[in-house]
Amino acid sequence: MNDTSEKVTPSILDRSRIVLAHGGGGQLTDQLISEVILPRLGNETLNELDDAAILNGNIAMTIDSYVVDPWQFPGGDIGKLAVCGTVNDLSVSGAKPLGIALSLILTEGFAKRDLETILDSIGESAAEADVKIVTGDTKVIPGSGIFITTAGVGLRDPAVKLASRYIRPGDKIIINRPIAEHGLTVMLAREMPDMQSVLKTDASPLNGLIDLLLKQVPGEDVRFLRDATRSGIAGVTTDIATNTGYHVMLHEPDIPVDAHVQHAADMLGLDVLEVANEGVVVAVVSPDVADQAVAVMRQHPYGRQACVIGEVQNNRDGICEITTMIGGHRIVHKPYGEQLPRIC
């Protein structure tokens, strides 16, 4: 009955205990899911490990907890993240958001005006995404900060077919905008709170952009969508390689990175491919519609810098590779733990 877990800061190599990196969305998170969670709770739906589960043929459901530290950062806060993350998880599964459930875990002493700021931000993001908060819960614990869990329910047209199993060799990989802005913004806000930085989170609801894409590009030619959050572009593209068994080739010179973001990453020794985004969608589309898909995305404010960043190739090695700026090649690995804890 005693809590044997109190007050231990374990080594990342202590396999008997949870470490921060288990929440990083990388290999360690995958291990926890496959070794501890799925053997106990696995079923046909959960085993898909998609951003959203599909129930009863057309009801999409998703959930995510947000523990970002600090809760506020340039361009947004934990409330905006929670709404955008849930809307985006529904959208990349091809569903239109129907409602969001909001559960707050507050800490004793948290300032009400800070809660108000966060709720205002939730309201603004929900209004932008045209979705309502339909139910909620509030709990209070000792400690500091705020933790938010949002669940989303949406409806999916049963005709929509988006999954990594539809990906074919030759398909192009597209993203909608420059990468790595969210993670580096939070990192700078945390480590250098007094510094004015020019970075700003990219957190944004992508349902409008994705809706446009799915309406204007012929159905079956959009194979797969995923928002590149924890573990970044590298997480998504290595998952594509692993799950399809094909070779994924990225082209570094084509991947848009803002110069300030690149400087911040270089300074901190971080790989922009692995840094979390909150407004970047990775789309895999058939080669015939790649130009059209890019053009459609560019019509939308959140897709002005859309471009092709790579392709799926026919070698069946399940590896993700990148041609670098200077023409070399390197293998892209799924991040092990986390570069940056508590980034979302």
Q: Write out the binding residues for its own copies, residues 139-158 only, by CB under 8 A.
A: 139-147, 149, 151, 153, 155
Q: Return d(Cα 93, Cα 127) in angstroms, integer.
A: 21
Q: Does the protein bind its own copies through residue 123 (CB under 8 A)?
A: yes
Question: Considering Cα of 105, then 108, then 110, then 116, what sign does the dihedral take?
Answer: positive
Q: Return d(Cα 50, Cα 46) in angstroms, integer.
A: 8
Q: Does the protein bind its own copies through residue 192 (CB under 8 A)?
A: no
Q: Does the protein bind its own copies through residue 198 (CB under 8 A)?
A: no
Q: Does the protein bind its own copies through residue 264 (CB under 8 A)?
A: no
Count residues contacting its own copies (CB under 8 A)?
94
The minimum distance between CB 273 and its own copies, in angstroms, equals 22
Nearest residue (CB) to its own copies, 162 versus 289: 162
Q: Does the protein bind its own copies through residue 341 (CB under 8 A)?
A: yes
Query: Can you tell me which of 90, 92, 102, 240 binds its own copies, judged by CB under 8 A?
Result: 102
Q: Does the protein bind its own copies through residue 312 (CB under 8 A)?
A: no
Q: Does the protein bind its own copies through residue 269 (CB under 8 A)?
A: no
The minimum distance between CB 341 and its own copies, in angstroms, equals 7
Pairing of strands 133-141, 95-107: parallel
Nearest residue (CB) to its own copies, 122 versus 210: 122
Nearest residue (CB) to its own copies, 64 versus 227: 64
Q: With beta carbons less than 8 A apart as the criterion, state whether 100 and 83 touch.
A: yes
The minimum distance between CB 318 and its own copies, in angstroms, equals 24
Give the long-range contacts of residues 322-325, CB within 8 A, separation 24 or more.
322/249, 322/250, 322/251, 322/252, 322/273, 323/249, 323/250, 323/251, 323/252, 323/253, 324/252, 325/252, 325/253
Q: Does the protein bind its own copies through residue 57 (CB under 8 A)?
A: no
Q: Does the protein bind its own copies through residue 268 (CB under 8 A)?
A: no
The minimum distance between CB 39 and its own copies, in angstroms, equals 9
Q: Does the protein bind its own copies through residue 221 (CB under 8 A)?
A: no
Query: Can you tell me which of 81, 90, 92, 104 binds its own copies, judged by CB under 8 A?
Result: 104
Task: List the interface residues with its own copies, window 58-87 (CB under 8 A).
Answer: 59, 61-67, 70-73
Q: Does the protein bind its own copies through residue 1 (CB under 8 A)?
A: yes
Residue 300 class from Cβ within 10 Å (0-12 exposed, 13-18 middle, 19+ buried)? middle
Cα–chain center distance at 171: 21
Q: Does the protein bind its own copies through residue 219 (CB under 8 A)?
A: no
DSSP result, 23-64: GSSSHHHHHIIIIIIHHHH--TTGGG--SSEEETTTEEEEEE
Q: With beta carbons less than 8 A apart as the criterion, state whether 212 and 293 touch.
A: no
The minimum distance between CB 80 and its own copies, in angstroms, equals 14
The minimum distance between CB 278 and its own copies, in angstroms, equals 15
Q: Return d(Cα 97, Cα 44) in angstroms, integer.
A: 23
Nearest residue (CB) to its own copies, 139 versus 165: 139
Q: Return d(Cα 106, Cα 170) in angstroms, integer.
A: 48
Q: Does the protein bind its own copies through residue 16 (CB under 8 A)?
A: yes
Sheet strands side by side (includes 329-332) = 222-227, 281-285, 172-175, 307-313, 247-251, 320-323, 329-332
Q: Return d(Cα 309, Cα 280) in angstroms, integer.
A: 13
Separation in Å, CA 233 to CA 74, 175, 190: 22, 9, 22
With CB under 8 A as the contact rule, which of the stretches 109-117, 156-164, 210-218, 236-244 interacts with its own copies?
Answer: 109-117
The minimum distance between CB 247 and its own copies, in angstroms, equals 29
Nearest residue (CB) to its own copies, 109 versus 269: 109
Q: Does the protein bind its own copies through residue 165 (CB under 8 A)?
A: no
Nearest residue (CB) to its own copies, 126 versus 248: 126
